[in-house]
Amino acid sequence: MDPEFEQEPRVWPFGTVPPPIAATYPTSCVVISGSEAVQVVSSLVEANEVTPGLIGTEPAARMTFRPLLPGDPGCET
C-alpha cells in the first residue's frame, strides 16, 4: 500500500465480534443490530475504505460494512 494512504487501525469497540477466519476461507461475517448498529455507524464517520480494523489481538484487517435488507440471508454459516 502507498505509505501516503497508510492509517492507524481502528479498534473494534463492540461486544459482537466476527468469528475468526479460517485458513481455507479468509473472510468472516457478523450481523450487528440494535444499539451496536448505531455505534458502528457513528464510528464509521471517521473512517474510510482503507481504514484497517483491529479485533482483539488479530492482525489488522480490511472491513466492509453494508446494511442487511429485508430478505437478505445475513451471514452464511
Q: d(Cα 44, Cα 2) in Å, to the nearest integer?
A: 22
pLDDT at residue number 42: 85
Q: d(Cα 4, Cα 31) in Å, to the nearest integer?
A: 32
Percent of the chain with pLDDT over 70: 90
The grid coordinates of residue 16 equal 459482537
Q: What is the average per-residue pLDDT within 34-42? A: 86
pLDDT at residue number 4: 61
Q: What is the average per-residue pLDDT within 53-63? A: 79
Q: What is the average per-residue pLDDT within 54-65? A: 79
Beta strands in 1-77 (DSSP E): 10-11, 53-54
Count of CB atoms situated within 10 Å of the CB of 6:
9
Q: d(Cα 28, Cα 9) in Å, to the nearest integer?
A: 18
User: How many residues comprise the chain?
Assistant: 77
> Would the pLDDT of 39 be above 60?
yes
pLDDT at residue number 32: 86
Per-domain residue ranges of the chain:
1-14+29-64
